[in-house]
Amino acid sequence: MYDTEPLSEPDPTDIGSRIDPVLARSWLLVTGSQAERFEPASRSRADIVILDIEDAVAPKDKLTARQNVVDWMNAGHSDWVRINGFGTPWWADDIAALSQTGVGGIMLAMVESVDHVTETARRLPNVPIVALVETARGLERITEIASAKGCFRLAFGIGDFRRDTGFGDNPTTLAYARSRFTIAAKAANLPSAIDGPTIGSNALKLSEATAVSAEFGMTGKICLTPDQCAAVNDGLSPSHDDIKWAREFFAEFEAEGGEIRNGSDLPRIARATKILNLARAYNIVPSDYESAEHQSAPTDTYHF
């Protein structure tokens, strides 16, 4: 009744493909001023590719980067773009240029108020917007930002937040901020928040940082290089132990008649269902198993 096929081991040579941004784990930033990087990024393991015309581009190169992105979109691509923040000299022109393309979504930098999101959404109707909150002012208004019309997901701009506040990078130091992101997203019925990036290519450091993201209920993470994406995807997916538990729980539940036995069954059904659904969405288990007639996983969070 539930999938019992062996788990698949990720193939490191496998070329990635974009997935539903609701479920996206790795959000890869690619500098817009270097168009030669767009094609390799499109073949990476990133769930979402974000062409960056904000922080990664010097002011003198903004126009060139924007045109590179527009040309890429007009060639038939529909990736996401990180645009310059509301109130900067480039924000309005970024939107005007992208409104004529098939851009897949917008990551809006330096969001500090509801107006930043709603005005961007008004000019780009039907384009999902990730609100990148990067300052103390933005964090204080994060509940309202999450509820703003047009806000699709929240993202934590760790680097600028630390610069703004003087905080260090210890997970304990940033625990309050990460908790605010998760709670605001849940309260606004958004997919869980996207955590900020980890600098460097140290595999252990990246794995530990991704585990911190998951611990705080954040189900996406910004990546700075293509080689970070596979590790982030792995760290933010159901583990083999999670899937084994879900299968064993349903086997036990069915063996005992498939009826609710106590107050813990419904939460466990919801958790097990969510684990298996995510595993299927991420191609960790076969996608052709049949789901039983049990209560669906709740929609208040996209984490398991």
Q: With beta carbons less than 8 A apart as the criterion, state whether 135 and 164 touch.
A: yes
Average pLDDT, the chain: 89
pLDDT at residue 191 in the model: 97
Nearest to 182 by CA among 190, 173, 174: 190
pLDDT tier for residue 18 given thresholds of 50, 70 and 90 = confident
pLDDT at residue 92 in the model: 98
pLDDT tier for residue 286 given thresholds of 50, 70 and 90 = low
The residue ranking higher by pLDDT, 203 or 201, is: 203
State yes or no: pLDDT of 2 exceeds 80. Answer: no
State yes or no: pLDDT of 135 exceeds 50. Answer: yes
List, in order, residues 6 or more apart from 140 with CB less than 8 Å away.
none
State yes or no: pLDDT of 270 exceeds 90. Answer: yes
pLDDT in tens, 103-114: 999 999 999 999
Cα–Cα distance between 243 and 262 in angstroms, integer? 22
What's the full length of the chain, in residues?
304
For residues 279-300, give the mean pLDDT: 57
Domain boundaries, the chain: 26-235, 237-304
pLDDT at residue 259 in the model: 86
pLDDT in tens, 41-59: 999 999 999 999 999 999 9
pLDDT tier for residue 17 given thresholds of 50, 70 and 90 = low
Tell me the pTM.
0.87
**Residue corresponding to tokens 């596979």:** 230
> Which residues is 26 bridged to in the sheet?
221
Cα–Cα distance between 108 and 139 in angstroms, integer? 15
State yes or no: pLDDT of 16 exceeds 60. Answer: no
> Three-class SS of residue 223?
strand
CATH 3.50.50.60 fits 26-235, yes or no: no
State yes or no: pLDDT of 285 exceeds 80. Answer: no
C-alpha distances (whole Å) from 72 to each of 27, 67, 83, 103, 242 are 18, 8, 15, 10, 40
